[in-house]
Amino acid sequence: CEEDPLYIYLKNDYFHHPYYQKGYMSAQDEGSYKIVEFVDPLPNERILDCCAAPGTKSLAMAERMNNQGWIDALDLHEHRVELIEKDAKRLGVNIIHTKAQDASNYVSDSMYDRILCDVPCSGYGVLSRKPDIKLRMVSQDMDTLIPLQYAILSHVSKFLKPKGILVYSTCTMNKKENEKQIQNFLKEHLDFEWVDECTIFASEKQDGFYMAKLMRK
């Protein structure tokens, strides 16, 4: 994974920093931001972020696009969509268009240059921040999560332009949710090809993530 220099904020209460309140900055985990770099959105492109809330990746993509283009940001829950809208307003971003929508049955009249498919997952890459995951997660959850991840990935892939880029990402290290999902997808979608992948292991600096980049032939 390539690295861009970021400003590291070492204090806790960045919400009250004047730069944050004035919309001069946003906060994001370093590993999460690397997913945005991996997507590599460009100005004037049309982007779909299909599991977007709380919106940090959508907003980071809009910033990298110089607020030029179009981003459809979906989330299943209305109250989480409002989080994206609130932060977009704070940052002065107006290219993000939110929808309370289940990505697995999303319908679009438009085709996209890039799609970010950051799916719900077991979350084993963020255990340092959310240790309660160990207590809540049971093996039966995988029976629901893995088919849901594949359903979202398979469905939204239909809206990608030829030569467009689709990035599938999770915040877990589980190969069944990561590499095996991509392998299964490519077996069943011959119009897609593998471009790249990256695994970021959790550390004191960042959470853990997996990401795979696919291109429509």
The pTM (predicted TM-score) of the whole model is 0.87
Indicate if the alpha-carbon torsion angle 108, 91, 83, 157 is positive or negative: positive
Residue 168 CB neighbour total at 10 angstroms: 26
User: How confident is the model at residue 76, as a pLDDT?
Assistant: 93
- Mean predicted confidence (pLDDT) in 79-107: 95
Query: Which one of the listed residues 51, 117, 171, 198 is annotated catalytic?
Result: 171
> Environment class of residue 39 by beta-carbon count within 10 Å: exposed (0-12), middle (13-18) or buried (19+)?
buried
User: How confident is the model at residue 63, as a pLDDT?
Assistant: 93
Q: Is the pLDDT of residue 29 over 50?
A: yes
Greater confidence (194 vs 139) lies with 194
% of the chain surpassing 70 pLDDT: 80
- Mean predicted confidence (pLDDT) in 129-145: 58
User: How confident is the model at residue 180, as a pLDDT?
Assistant: 97
User: How confident is the model at residue 122, as a pLDDT?
Assistant: 85
121 classed as catalytic: no
Please give the mean pLDDT across all residues of the chain.
87
Greater confidence (64 vs 133) lies with 64
Tokens of 12: 């806790």
User: How confident is the model at residue 166, as a pLDDT?
Assistant: 98
pLDDT band for position 4 (cuts 50, 70, 90): low
User: How confident is the model at residue 204, as a pLDDT?
Assistant: 76
- Mean predicted confidence (pLDDT) in 110-130: 79
pLDDT band for position 133 (cuts 50, 70, 90): very low
- Mean predicted confidence (pLDDT) in 3-10: 60
The least confident of 73-82, 137-146, 173-182 is 137-146
Tokens of 133: 């995951």
Q: How far is CA 42 from CA 56, 67, 113, 195, in A?
A: 17, 10, 9, 18
The least confident of 31-40, 78-87, 108-117, 138-147 is 138-147
User: How confident is the model at residue 28, as a pLDDT?
Assistant: 73
